[in-house]
Amino acid sequence: MDKALTFLKNTFGFDGFRPPQAEVINTLVNGGDALVLMPTGGGKSLCYQIPALVRPGCGIVISPLIALMKDQVDALLLLGVNASFLNSTLDHQQVFEVEQALRDGNLDLLYISPERLTQERTLALLQEVSISLFAIDEAHCVSQWGHDFRADYLQLSLLHREFPSIPRIALTATADARTREEIISRLDLIDADHYLAGFDRPNIRYTIGLKQNPKPQLLRFLKDAHPRDAGIVYCLSRKKTEETATWLKGEGFNALPYHAGLNAEVRADHQSRFLRDDAVIIVATIAFGMGIDKPDVRFVAHLDLPKTIESYYQETGRAGRDGAPADAWMIYGLQDVSKLRQMLDQSEGSEEHKRIEQHRLNAMLGLCEITSCRRHALLAYFDEASPEQCGNCDTCLYPVDTWDGTEAAQKALSVIFRTGQRFGVNHLIDVLRGSENDKVFQFDHHKLPIHGVGKELDANQWKSVFRQLMARDYIRVDVDSFGALRLEEKCRPLLRGDESIFLRKDVKTRTVAKQTKTMLPEDIDIGLWEALRECRRRLAEAQGVPPYIIFHDSTLQAMAEYMPATLDEFSALSGVGERKLQKYGPEFLEVIQGSSHSLDQATP
């Protein structure tokens, strides 16, 4: 383990292992197999990179994400690790050179696509050379039930048969037990040690607000918190992604649309600009995400409600993989719920399936409407225990007020019942507020005793009541008749007065937006921060790599915060290993010195 620690410090520039990296590395170094489940950004790569360096021979990394291999390898080369990749993007000559390097024992790590690995030629080559370990990344791709199934992954059980003495490690961020079982059985990992890290992403701040005026709300969030950051904005429809991107461009942001309807070239271009340029915002449908390994995505914004908590967690999880502070920001409204219910209704699938999906949607809505800690609720949904308060979500930072909504809830339930469970929320609110419009007269609803009993709340407040009743499963939108609200069995005690209910007061959006300040530490000199980013951008461009491969945001922040004056001080920053110290240290030190001079001059 001493050797492992030396690599961690000297090569990667980190001070200590994160759980459970040390244990995983120990297992592999000693020749054992491991199954590792860690959240996105948890630090899975080091779990195989370090043992591959410690053990003799080359580490073989199998990954389906061909588009990422070059960047992964570039990043390793910059650290001084001899890495290479083999996939269909290489021509014959390049393949030959990589194979030769492998034969000559000049590689520490080799990334291979599954279809390349399972070719006779590759397997024969691997039999000839010394191999330190096999790492199977994105191991959930063996699951035939998952979204990312890869037929080639099924063949990976051959590794165990053909290379019985070489340790194997399978890694994934997919949590559920069924996928885990499939990985174990299909990859023959029954005897492997299992490592399950918690799924919390402490650096992500969750904020969920009410959708009022989406565009100004988003603009405010971006201007206040992320004026020059890379991020993803998710929308439900293709049309909306294009509209939103165009509008953001007009507002001065570098925004690009992404959805499955764009042709492949445009998509590839937008994706690569997102990865390589500084501060690009991708406005996308859920088609965007898989295989996006950009570590410095500083925010994920949802303009529409995701269908399930699982999708919400996966999509927001793309923020802040580098561990630096990031935002998961969402606005939603009742219209989102109706739209999703309609889509669900029109989808093919059994009644059983629709019912399950409906429950999952309700859970999502429940998360939006809770008055307690969002993170605690999220983790509880994934059966993970956590403190009652996380201190880094909107409800923890700015506790919501609640009010006794028992009477209002009773009125809301009654009006649904009295009008025959056939009407949508707007009409129900009209009846409660005593409206005398055509529709009210048409159905004789002005004659009902419930007509006009709800004047004490305005329409928005009533919407909030209905939403919260829906989130807590007292009522639901009827899937068969367009947006009509129906009562659930659960509402009886509340209607009878045997139960009381506390509701959250809607937070005005203005306050929600104001809460999200830029995430840089307060005493950082913004001028210096920008100068450091410019220096990084210049170096990245000169080398044809994305900026984060030079240094991550967190390392840049540390530079701005501690302002090292010597190479020795510079080497103490997290993320600065020996190679990068020599290669980039002097240039960044110059930038820091330049800025401290100007500070000195400013304060005589």
**Contact positions vs ligand ADP (CB under 6 A):** 14, 17-18, 21, 38, 40-46, 295, 321-323, 552, 574
> Which window, 36-44, 122-130, 371-379, 523-531, contacts Zn ion (CB under 5 A)?
371-379
Nearer Cβ to Zn ion, position 397 or 495? 397
Best CA proximity match to 203, nearest among 524, 596, 519, 603: 519
The distance of closest approach from Cβ of residue 46 to ligand ADP in the complex, given in angstroms and rounded to an integer, is 5
Q: Which does 308 bind (CB under 5 to 8 A by kind): Zn ion, ligand ADP, none?
A: none
Nearer Cβ to ligand ADP, position 18 or 433? 18
Nearer Cβ to ligand ADP, position 137 or 394? 137
> Which window, 61-69, 77-85, 119-127, 390-398, contacts Zn ion (CB under 5 A)?
390-398
Best CA proximity match to 421, nearest among 409, 410, 413, 429: 413
Using alpha carbons, list the distances in angstroms from residue 125 to 51, 83, 129, 131, 179. 22, 17, 7, 11, 31
Q: Which does 18 bind (CB under 5 to 8 A by kind): Zn ion, ligand ADP, none?
A: ligand ADP
Q: Name 447's bridge partners.
A: none
Q: Name 434's bridge partners.
A: none
Using alpha carbons, list the distances in angstroms from residue 245 to 262, 282, 283, 331, 365. 14, 8, 6, 17, 26
Nearer Cβ to Zn ion, position 396 or 413? 396
Q: Pick out residues in 325-364 that bind Zn ion (CB under 5 A).
A: none
Are 440 and 448 in contact by the 8 Å Cβ rule? The answer is: no
The DSSP annotation for 375-398 comes to HHHHHHHTT----S--SSBHHHHS
Nearer Cβ to Zn ion, position 349 or 399? 399
Q: Is 586 buried (19+), middle (13-18) or exposed (0-12) by CB count in 10 A?
A: exposed
- Containing 462, the helix (H) or strand (E) segment is helix 459-471
Q: Does 24 bind Zn ion (CB under 5 A)?
A: no
Residue showing tokens 């159905």: 443
Q: Which does 253 bind (CB under 5 to 8 A by kind): ligand ADP, Zn ion, none?
A: none
Best CA proximity match to 140, nearest among 155, 131, 150: 150
Q: Which does 474 bind (CB under 5 to 8 A by kind): Zn ion, ligand ADP, none?
A: none
Q: Does 373 bind Zn ion (CB under 5 A)?
A: yes
The 3-state DSSP class for residue 500 equals coil
The distance of closest approach from Cβ of residue 564 to ligand ADP in the complex, given in angstroms and rounded to an integer, is 18
The distance of closest approach from Cβ of residue 386 to ligand ADP in the complex, given in angstroms and rounded to an integer, is 19
The 3-state DSSP class for residue 43 equals coil
The distance of closest approach from Cβ of residue 233 to ligand ADP in the complex, given in angstroms and rounded to an integer, is 22
Are 94 and 20 in contact by the 8 Å Cβ rule? The answer is: no
Nearer Cβ to ligand ADP, position 75 or 102? 75
Nearer Cβ to ligand ADP, position 513 or 559? 559
| Beta strands 475-477; 485-487: pairing state | antiparallel
The distance of closest approach from Cβ of residue 258 to Zn ion in the complex, given in angstroms and rounded to an integer, is 31
The distance of closest approach from Cβ of residue 395 to Zn ion in the complex, given in angstroms and rounded to an integer, is 6
Q: Does 370 bind Zn ion (CB under 5 A)?
A: no
x/- track of binding to Zn ion for residues 394-433 (CB under 5 A): --x-------------------------------------
Best CA proximity match to 182, nearest among 284, 322, 35: 35
- Containing 115, the helix (H) or strand (E) segment is helix 114-117
The distance of closest approach from Cβ of residue 487 to ligand ADP in the complex, given in angstroms and rounded to an integer, is 44
Q: Which does 44 bind (CB under 5 to 8 A by kind): ligand ADP, Zn ion, none?
A: ligand ADP
Buried b (16+ CB within 10 A) or exposed e, 364-378: bbbbbbbeebbbbbb
Nearer Cβ to Zn ion, position 140 or 375? 375
Q: Please select the residue that binds Zn ion; options are 4, 192, 236, 393, rule is CB under 5 A.
A: 393
Nearer Cβ to ligand ADP, position 229 or 369? 229
**Is-cis flag, bond preceding 19, omega within 30?**
no
Structure tokens given for 350: 């059994």
Nearer Cβ to Zn ion, position 67 or 397? 397
Q: Which does 393 bind (CB under 5 to 8 A by kind): Zn ion, ligand ADP, none?
A: Zn ion
CB atoms within 10 A of CB 199: 20
Q: Does 390 bind Zn ion (CB under 5 A)?
A: yes
The distance of closest approach from Cβ of residue 62 to ligand ADP in the complex, given in angstroms and rounded to an integer, is 14
Nearer Cβ to ligand ADP, position 14 or 588? 14
Q: Which segments within 319-452 are labelled E, that is strand?
A: 326-332, 402-404
Q: Does 204 bind Zn ion (CB under 5 A)?
A: no
Q: Which residue is nearest to ligand ADP (CB)?
A: 43
Q: Name 34's bridge partners.
A: 169, 193
The distance of closest approach from Cβ of residue 21 to ligand ADP in the complex, given in angstroms and rounded to an integer, is 6
Q: Which does 373 bind (CB under 5 to 8 A by kind): Zn ion, ligand ADP, none?
A: Zn ion
Are 576 and 570 in contact by the 8 Å Cβ rule? The answer is: yes
Q: Which conformational region is residue 469 in: left (phi greater than 0), alpha (psi within -120 to 50 degrees), or beta? A: alpha
Q: Which does 396 bind (CB under 5 to 8 A by kind): Zn ion, ligand ADP, none?
A: Zn ion
# residues contacting Zn ion (CB under 5 A): 5
Are 45 and 79 in contact by the 8 Å Cβ rule? The answer is: no
Q: Which conformational region is residue 135 in: left (phi greater than 0), alpha (psi within -120 to 50 degrees), or beta? A: beta
Interface contacts to Zn ion, rule CB under 5 A: 373, 375, 390, 393, 396
